[in-house]
Amino acid sequence: MGGVMEEEVVRGFLRRFLEEFPAPLGSEDPLPLNPLSRKVSLDELRGESLDLGLRLLNTRDAPSTLNAAMCHAALAELLKADLSPFHLPQEAEQQQGEEQEVVLLQSEPVQRLFLNKLREVGVAWHQNLPSPLPVGPSRFLMCSAHAIRNTRRKMEDRHVTLPDFNTLTGLKDGVERGYYAVFDGHGGVDAAIYAATHLHVTLSQQEGLQSDPATAFKTAFTRTDDMLRGKAKRERLRSGSTGVAVLLQGEWLHVAWLGDSQSMLVRRGQDITLMDPHKPDREDEKQRVEALGGCIVFMGCWRVNGTYAVSRAIGDFDQKPYVSGDADCSSTRLHGDEDYILLACDGFFDVVRPAEVPALVLGVLREQGESQGAVEGAGCEEVSEGVLGERVAQELVAHAKAAGSSDNITVMVVFLRPPAQLLLRDQSNTAVATEGPAQE
Q: What digits encode the pLDDT tens for the residues 204-214?
A: 999 999 999 99
pLDDT score, position 94:
52
Comparing 196-200, 269-273, 341-345, 368-372, the range with the smallest average pLDDT is: 368-372
Of the candidates 154, 202, 182, 187, the one whose C-alpha atom is nearest the C-alpha of residue 318 is 187
CA 336 from chain center: how many Å?
23
- What is the longest distance spanned by two Cα atoms in the chain? 88
Mean pLDDT of 81-96: 78
Average pLDDT over residues 392-411: 97
Give buried/exposed letters for 179-190 (b at 16+ CB in 10 A, else e).
bbbbbbbbbbbb
Mean pLDDT of 235-257: 96
pLDDT band at 381 (very low <50, low <70, confident <90, very high): very low
- Is 374's pLDDT higher than 60? no
Q: Determine the length of the chain.
A: 440
pLDDT reported for residue 73:
97
pLDDT band with cut points at 50, 70 and 90 for residue 61: confident
Among 277-281, 384-388, 436-440, whose mean pLDDT is lowest? 436-440
- pLDDT (0 to 100) of residue 99: 56
397 near 348, Cβ under 8 Å?
Answer: yes
Specify which residues 298 forms β-bridges with. 302
What is the mean predicted confidence (pLDDT) over 417-429?
A: 89
Angle at which helices 190-204 and 213-235 cross, to 10° = 140
Span 276-281, mean pLDDT? 94
- Confidence class for position 412, pLDDT limits 50, 70, 90: very high
Model confidence at 369, pLDDT cuts 50, 70, 90, reads confident
What pLDDT does 135 receive? 81
Please give the pLDDT value at position 376.
44
> By mean pLDDT, which of 5-19, 36-50, 182-196, 263-277 is the weakest?
5-19
Lowest model confidence (mean pLDDT) among 336-345, 346-355, 425-434 = 425-434
What's the average model confidence in pLDDT over 291-303? Answer: 94
Helix or strand (DSSP H, E) at 256: strand 252-258
Asked whether residue 414 carries a pLDDT value surpassing 80, the answer given is yes
Q: Report which secondary-structure segment, H or E, holds 78.
A: helix 64-80
What is the rounded CA–CA span in Å between residue 192 and residue 181? 11
Task: Enumerate the β-bridge partners of residue 148.
Answer: 409
Q: What is the mean pLDDT of the chain?
A: 91
**In this model, does residue 382 exceed pLDDT 60?**
no
Check residue 379 and give its pLDDT: 47
Other C-beta atoms within 10 Å of 208: how many? 12
Q: For residue 93, is pLDDT > 70?
A: no
pLDDT tens by residue, 145-196:
999 999 999 999 999 999 999 999 999 999 999 999 999 999 999 999 999 9
Residue 177: closest CA among 210, 153, 215, 144: 210
CA–CA dist 15, 22 (Å, integer): 10
